A and B are shown apart, each in its own frame.
Chain A
Amino acid sequence: MKRERIDKSVREKIEQEARRVYGIRSFFNDYELFMSGEGKIRATTRETAELAEYLKKVDSVGVYVAKYRRWGLTFSIEGSQILDGVIERNVIELTREEAKRWMTGAPVELKPEHKIEGKFVVAKYRRFYLGSGVMGRDGKVYPLIPKWRRIPSE
């Protein structure tokens, strides 16, 4: 797997986007970030990154936390969970039934209490974040759950 440490200028650009869209002020501050192809960002600890340098050929490091493309910044389930407490905007709270639906990959309806600006949201059930979704033209939110992670729909 391709792995490049994200340099300072790119990291700053992503941080700005995170602040603009999600109101995030502290963006994976305690982690080393790597770009692993297709705009995918992986996070790990400093000690792990150092060990990976020493081991040389490794398949992957840390967990996939976010995707940064020209069209926007989105978070994986784990990425949004690590950012617990620092995501200030565009969060939608779901009921259990909605959260299950979200995890099947099906869209969920926005409710009047959801205050959304722009295209991207992060969903939450109880205290657990469920990753990013994209607003559709139909006013529904489409979750970005990878296939392997989906609950099979009945």
Chain B
Amino acid sequence: MKNGIQFSEELLKLLSELPGVDFERLLESYNTPLPESIRINTLKTTPSECIEMLEENGFSLTKIPWTRYGYYVEPKDRIAETLEHMLGLVYMQGPVSMLVAEVLDVKHGDRVLDLCAAPGSKSTQIGQYLENSGALVANDISYERIKALSSNLQRCGVVNVIITLKDGRMFGRRYPDTFDKVLVDAPCSSLGIISRDWSIAKRWRGRISERMSRLQLGLITSGFDALKPGGTLVYATCTLHPLENEWVIDQLLERRSGKAKLLEIKIEGIKYSKPIVEWNGDFFHPEVSKCIRIYPYQSGAEGFFISKITKTWADYEA
């Protein structure tokens, strides 16, 4: 027991061994409730109009520095039942979750694939940036979660969207070289959001991350194959285990050697850390050093791993 949270033995061992992690601050951050934050949906309103409406109704908003339309909101637990929320003028989303879609750098006219999209935080954000140009394919494997995805896309007024209910691992084979941008916001062991759900800490076992990493590798490989040459893929998780993060990138680089190339991630307004370069005596591919880790004590919110990858024209040049 640490500050009320029950950790499995295995988890405490893992967290204390992670290179570059401030163990004490990490445990402390797990005990701090996450801030409440919203993204203003510019498909329906403008920041000034929406801020005015919310302030008139007793909310105070503070801009999140690293994302275009994100705001911390006070008081907590009230926004979900406001008119602004129900009308789709705002979307409740974690501050670092918003950063992931920023890193994807969606441009007008892009064809975008969100491979693991439910419940749609990042899909609705991508839809916002596309401004109904291009097209967005929002996919998820879970029928239950697709319902929430569909409601959220409807509420946010994303017109240029196609929802699919498929195993993301088949996209690459079925639709090779099709999308300008691909987001793989992979299912994971969620060690970056323990403060939202303490039971994660109790349940975590090493084999969960091992099993996840195989699925994640299948998803990223499929997403990469569905990417057009010259396109960009963002792979992200809200967990801390290197097997679900750096290892997955390392393996993709090996599987798609010569074609997959890491890109530098340029972000401002938030502290972040370097990735882990060696785990259990194995060194990852040097390109992996371009990924970033954001710990909960750096963001004051969720912990995330983010990587940005491009597909080179290697096979296409004579």
Spell out A's residues near B (CB within 8 Å). Answer: 31, 43-45, 47-48, 51-52, 54-55, 57-64, 76-78, 81-82, 96, 99-100, 103, 125-126, 128, 130, 148-152
How many residues of B are counted as interface, with CB atoms below 8 angstroms from the partner's CB atoms? 34
B12 at the interface (CB under 8 A from A): no
Asked if B208 is at the interface of the complex by the 8 Å CB criterion, the answer is no
Provide the B130-172 mask, 1 if CB < 8 A to any CB of A, else 0. 0011111100000000100011011101111111111000000
Could you show 28 A-B contacts with beta carbons less than 8 Å apart?
A: A44-B159, A44-B160, A45-B159, A47-B134, A48-B135, A48-B161, A48-B162, A54-B175, A58-B162, A59-B165, A60-B150, A60-B163, A61-B162, A61-B163, A62-B161, A63-B159, A76-B154, A77-B88, A81-B44, A82-B159, A99-B83, A103-B86, A125-B83, A128-B44, A128-B89, A149-B86, A151-B81, A151-B86
Given contacts A63-B161, A64-B154, 13 further A-B contacts (CB under 8 A): A47-B133, A47-B134, A47-B160, A51-B135, A60-B150, A77-B87, A78-B157, A82-B159, A96-B83, A99-B83, A126-B53, A149-B151, A151-B82
Cβ of A9 to closest chain B Cβ, rounded Å: 24
Judge whether A51 and B154 touch: CB under 8 Å: no
Interface residue? B111 (CB, 8 A):
yes
Residues of A within 8 A of B53 (CB): 126
Greatest chain B CB density within 10 A among A43, A63, A82, A151 is at A63
Grouping DSSP codes into helix (H, G, I), strand (E, B) and loop, the A interface class, with mixed when no group exceeds half, is mixed
Residues of B within 8 A of A61 (CB): 161-163
Contact yes or no, B135 A149, CB < 8 A: no
The smallest C-beta distance from B226 to any residue of chain A, in angstroms, reads 11
CA distance A31 to B153 in the complex (A): 17
Q: A47-B134, A59-B146, A59-B164 are in contact. Are A151 and B159 (CB under 8 A)?
A: no
Is the CB–CB distance between B151 and A45 below 8 Å? Answer: no
Q: Smallest distance from the beta carbon of A122 to chain B beta carbons, Å?
A: 14
Which residues of chain B (246-272) have a CB below 8 Å from chain A?
none
Q: How far is the CA of A48 from the CA of B161 in the complex (A)?
A: 7
* A77 partner residues in chain B, CB cutoff 8 A: 87-88
Complex alpha-carbon distance, A103 and B135, angstroms? 30
Query: By the criterion CB–CB under 8 Å, are B135 and A47 in contact?
Result: yes
Chain A residues in 8 Å Cβ range of B165: 59
Contact (A63, B83) CB under 8 Å given A48-B160, A48-B162: no
Chain A residues positioned under 8 Å from B146 (CB to CB) = 59
Contacts of B89 in A (CB 8 A): 128
Chain B: minimal CB distance from A70 (Å): 25
A51 touches B162 (CB 8 A): yes
Interchain CA distance A150-B134 in the complex, whole Å? 31
Cβ contact within 8 Å between B164 and A55: yes
The distance from the CB of A39 to the nearest CB of chain B, in whole angstroms, is 17
* A60-B150, A63-B154 known; A45-B162 Cβ under 8 A: no
Distance between B88 CB and nearest chain A CB, rounded to angstroms: 8
B151-A148 in contact (CB<8A): yes
- The complex places the Cα of A78 from the Cα of B165 at a distance, in Å, of 23
Residues of B within 8 A of A126 (CB): 53
Q: Answer whether A62 and B86 are a contact pair too, CB < 8 Å, given A47-B135, A55-B164, A55-B175.
A: no
B43 nearest CB across to chain A (Å): 9
Instruction: Name which residue of chain B comes closest to A1, CB basis.
Output: B163
